[in-house]
């Protein structure tokens, strides 16, 4: 069995590589905690000066693995706790750490995957990169930070267009 997130440190760069290529690096609930723990590990390591998050060459991250949502209690209170305690842990960790974090995006960054890239201090996109706030296509409300970060990066009008249409940006 492979690790869902690979971690390495080379030349003062900690690299977190999402490693579920068969699911386009969609993350599971257990991955959220691992992801946050690895970010904290890199931030605490005096030999690390910068953190890079990547998904390899095919996909950065397709957001949350929709199969994982079936295990969540459907009540409103349980869903709120699920978001604030589990899913938002990576976002809150990215906000707290001191070292710069770079999203190295190749392939798709969709839904929460796009949001995770937006939360980084810098985004470097390959020619193959595609970004989409695909929540609207699923009939769900964006809730992973994209609504906060996107307008600050590209302006309110363009952010609303992307959030409300789910269009893909290449």
pLDDT tens digits along 131-159:
999 988 888 777 778 899 999 999 999 99
Residue spans of alpha helices (H) in the chain: 29-44, 66-69, 76-81, 88-96, 112-119, 135-138, 146-154, 156-165
**Architecture of the domain made up of 5-169:** Alpha-Beta Complex (3.90)
Distances (CA, A) of 138 to 70, 107, 134, 135: 15, 20, 7, 5
Using the predicted structure, report yes or no on whether residue 71 has a pLDDT greater than 80.
no
For the whole model, what pTM was predicted? 0.91
pLDDT at 1: 42
pLDDT at 65: 87
Domain ranges of the chain: 5-169
Using the predicted structure, report yes or no on whether residue 121 has a pLDDT greater than 90.
yes
Phi and psi at 62, nearest 5°, equal: -90, 20
Range of lowest pLDDT (8-12, 32-36, 67-71, 139-143) = 67-71
pLDDT at 73: 63
Return the structure tokens found at 73.
Answer: 């209690």
Summary mean pLDDT of the chain: 90
pLDDT tens digits along 74-116:
676 666 666 667 778 888 899 999 999 999 999 999 999 999 9
Return the structure tokens found at 13.
Answer: 């760069």
């Amino acid at each position: 069995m492979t690790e869902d997130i690979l971690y390495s440190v080379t030349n003062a760069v900690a690299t977190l590589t999402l490693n579920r290529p068969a699911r386009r690096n969609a993350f599971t609930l257990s991955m959220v905690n691992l992801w946050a723990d690895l970010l904290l590990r890199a931030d605490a390591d005096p030999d690390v000066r910068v953190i890079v998050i990547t998904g390899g060459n095919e996909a950065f991250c397709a957001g949350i693995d929709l199969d994982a949502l079936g295990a969540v209690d459907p009540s409103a209170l349980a869903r709120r706790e699920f978001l604030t305690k589990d899913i938002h842990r990576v976002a809150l960790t990215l906000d707290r750490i001191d070292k710069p974090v770079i999203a190295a995006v190749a392939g798709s960054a969709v839904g929460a995957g796009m949001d995770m890239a937006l939360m980084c201090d810098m985004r470097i996109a390959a020619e193959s990169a595609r970004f989409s706030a695909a929540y609207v296509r699923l009939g769900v409300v964006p809730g992973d930070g994209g609504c906060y970060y996107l307008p600050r990066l590209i302006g309110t009008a363009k952010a609303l267009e992307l959030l409300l249409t789910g269009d893909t940006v290449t």
